[in-house]
Amino acid sequence: MAVCPTDDRHVAVLAFPYGTHAAPLLNLVRRAAAEAPEVTFSFFSTKRSNASVFAGLNEEQLLNIRPYDIEDGLPEGFVPSGNPQDPVAYFVKAMPANYRTAMDEAVEKTGRQITCLVSDAFFWFCAGMAEEMHAKWIPLWTAGPHPLLAHISSQQIREKLGPDGVRENKEIDFLTGFNGLKAGDLPEGLVEMAEDPFSMMLEKMGEALPRATAVAINSFNAVHIPIGQELETKFHMLLNVGPFILTTPQSVTLDEEGCLPWLNSQEDRSVIYISFGSVIMPPPDELTALADALEEGKYPFIWAFRGNPEKQLPDGFLERTKTQGKVVGWAPQMQILKHSAVGVCITHGGWNSILDCIVGGVPMICRPFFGDQSLNTATLEHVWEIGVGLEDNVFTKEETLRVMETVMSSEKGMMMREKVLELKDLAMEAAGPEGDSTKNFCTFADILSGLHHGKSHHQPHGLRGIRHKIAGAFAAAHHKLRRHHHHHHQKH
Instruction: Enumerate the active-site residues.
Output: 21, 120
What gap in Å lies between CA 225 and CA 222, rounded to an integer? Answer: 5
Strand, coil or helix: what is 83? coil
Q: What single DSSP character describes residue 74? A: P
Q: Rounded to an integer, what distance in angstroms lies between the CA atom of residue 428 and that of residue 475?
A: 10
Backbone angles phi, psi at 67, to 5 degrees: -80, 145
- 230, 280, 300, 479 from 277: Cα distances, Å: 30, 6, 20, 25
Q: Give the span between the Cα atoms of 66 and 262, in whole angstroms.
A: 41
CA angle (280, 282, 284) in 5-degree steps: 140
CA atoms of 129 and 117, how far apart (whole Å): 9
Reference 274, options 220, 321, 218; nearest CA is: 321
Residue 400 exposed, middle or buried by CB count within 10 Å (0-12, 13-18, 19+): buried
User: Looking at the chain, how many residues does it have?
Assistant: 492
Residue type, 476: A
Report the SS3 class of residue 455: coil
**CA distance linking residue 344 with residue 403, whole number of Å:** 10
